Amino acid sequence: MGILSGQQYQKLWEALQDAYPTVNDLTMMLEFRLGKKLGAITSPNAPYEFMVYQVIQRVEGDGETLELINAARDSKPKNAKLVAFAQQFGLASVAPELERVVTDGLPFVNAVRWRTRLGELEGRICRIDIPKNSEGVGTGFLVAPDLVLTNHHVVKDVISGHYLPSDVLIRFDYRRSADGKTLNFGTEFELAAGWLVDSAPPSAVDELADPGNQLPGAEELDYALLRVAGDPGRTPIRPATAQVMPPPPPRGWEAIPTKPVPLPADGPLFIMQHPSGWPLKLAVEPLKSLLAVNANRTRVRYRTNTLKGSSGSPCFDYDFNLVALHYSGNPGAQAKWNEGIPIDAVAGLIAKRP
């Protein structure tokens, strides 16, 4: 019986081709490690990619998928893709007994996942310019092919009619070199008709330097869900060219988790943002970032740095799982914390709306 999801199936297919790039490599691994003959599984005239697919299909059907993963991992112990894939099933190497965990800080992280996720996120987070010639008033991120999530207060002047929807520019891929010279002004999108899909205002409690026991209302979550023209989530970050084969994948989007996300006190929290309208930055506060979640789970406080223009940024845990929507810092004279909305609270309110 098979154990792989569709995504895991593809990841194992990719990892095997990366670790065993030729038919001979795969043939020897299967025979030496598993006692299986490639010729008994697939036709020698089939394309190599299809051979690998049929190998996975066979072991899934025979209930031997873990044996294949373990054999491939042992045969190529330094292949990053195999290591990352094997970790999902507890088949990666463990530390020797002489090693010990010394602190309760940042957990061990998957370097391949970090590298992959940073590449994905870079294309899914946008700067929001209002009006179009501004240097950015906020940040947002794709949560569907044509939907960007940001803060209500970022687009409040458009909601109120002070600016027109046509005054808004959604800018992806804005980059600048280390010497300050702009290399790429980004890919620009505009709002679609029926642009305001859903929104919730901020709370007056957010303006208090010391709110005490006062809590924002369950519908005061300071978010806006914007429909963007052109389906940016389905468009590639770079256009296809004759020199780029296969064509670049679409930029994709971040799925909003519907179940409560873990927000442990003292846990790490990272924020991807356009602070002060700058090109995309990653703010990292790895140790004891998370301070507290309030009583009705409408706000979460943390120590991770932000600036004006960071409102609407996605917040992630150490493994780059989406956990919160950043919206503000404390309103006191001296900054003590920043604050966001747990992403599952946003998802819950959106689900209740007509």
CA-CA-CA-CA torsion sign (299, 301, 302, 308): positive
Q: Which amino acid is at 86?
A: A
pLDDT digits (tens, 9 = 90+) for 190-227: 999 999 999 999 999 988 877 888 999 999 999 999 99
Residue 294: inside a domain, yes or no? Answer: yes
If asked whether residues 240 and 324 sit together in one domain, one would say yes
Residue 112: inside a domain, yes or no? Answer: no
Last residue of a domain, one of 45, 69, 87: 87
Residue 62: inside a domain, yes or no? Answer: yes
If asked whether residues 19 and 141 sit together in one domain, one would say no
If asked whether residues 28 and 161 sit together in one domain, one would say no
If asked whether residues 69 and 142 sit together in one domain, one would say no
Distance between CA atoms of residues 269 and 58, nearest Å: 42
Nearest to 226 by CA among 169, 298, 300: 169
> Helices (H), strands (E): how many in the chain?
8, 16
The whole domain housing 276 covers 117-352
Sort strands 314-316 and 322-329 into parallel, antiparallel or unpaired: antiparallel
Residue 26: inside a domain, yes or no? Answer: yes
Residue 101: inside a domain, yes or no? Answer: no
Residue 187: inside a domain, yes or no? Answer: yes
If asked whether residues 248 and 147 sit together in one domain, one would say yes
Q: Residue 196: helix, strand or coil by DSSP?
A: strand
Residue with tokens 């090109």: 279
Q: What is the CATH number of the domain that holds 346?
A: 2.40.10.120
Residues of the chain under the 70 pLDDT cut: 1, 78, 89-109, 176-183, 238-247, 286-287, 332-333
Q: Which amino acid is at 73?
A: R
If asked whether residues 65 and 209 sit together in one domain, one would say no
pLDDT of res. 106:
59
DSSP letters spanning 256-323: PP-SPPP--TT--EEEEE-GGGPSPEEEEE-SS-EEEE-TTSS-EEE-----TT-TT-EEE-TT--EE
Total domains, the chain:
2
**What residues form DSSP beta bridges with 285?**
269
Nearest to 255 by CA among 145, 111, 113: 145
Residue with tokens 């890919």: 187
pLDDT of res. 253:
96
Last residue of a domain, one of 87, 109, 136: 87
Q: Mark 206-230 as b/e (b = at least 16 C-beta within 10 Å).
A: beeeebeeebbeeebbbbbbbbbee
pLDDT of res. 16:
92
Q: What is the reported pTM?
A: 0.70
If asked whether residues 195 and 286 sit together in one domain, one would say yes
Q: Mark 322-352 as b/e (b = at least 16 C-beta within 10 Å).
A: bbbbbbbbbeeeeeeebbbbbbbbbbbbbee
If asked whether residues 38 and 152 sit together in one domain, one would say no
How far out from the chain centre does Cα 149 lie?
13
Residue 30: inside a domain, yes or no? Answer: yes
CB 161 within 8 A of CB 114: no
Last residue of a domain, one of 47, 70, 87: 87
Q: At what angle do helices 65-75 and 80-87 cross, to 10 degrees?
A: 140
Residue 22: inside a domain, yes or no? Answer: yes
If asked whether residues 273 and 175 sit together in one domain, one would say yes
If asked whether residues 246 and 169 sit together in one domain, one would say yes
CB 79 within 8 A of CB 69: no
If asked whether residues 61 and 135 sit together in one domain, one would say no
Distance between CA atoms of residues 125 and 264, nearest Å: 25
pLDDT digits (tens, 9 = 90+) for 122-133: 899 999 999 998
List, in sequence order, the alpha helices (H) in 63-127: 65-75, 80-87, 111-122
Phi first, then psi: what are they for 102, rounded to 5°? Answer: -100, -35
CB 52 within 8 A of CB 38: no
Nearest to 255 by CA among 149, 128, 127, 154: 149
CB 146 within 8 A of CB 235: no
If asked whether residues 81 and 123 sit together in one domain, one would say no
Q: Mark 19-52 as b/e (b = at least 16 C-beta within 10 Å).
A: bbeeeeebbebbeebbebebeeebeeeeeeeebb
CB 155 within 8 A of CB 133: no
Q: Residues 133, 139, 145, CA angle at the centre, nearest 5°?
A: 100
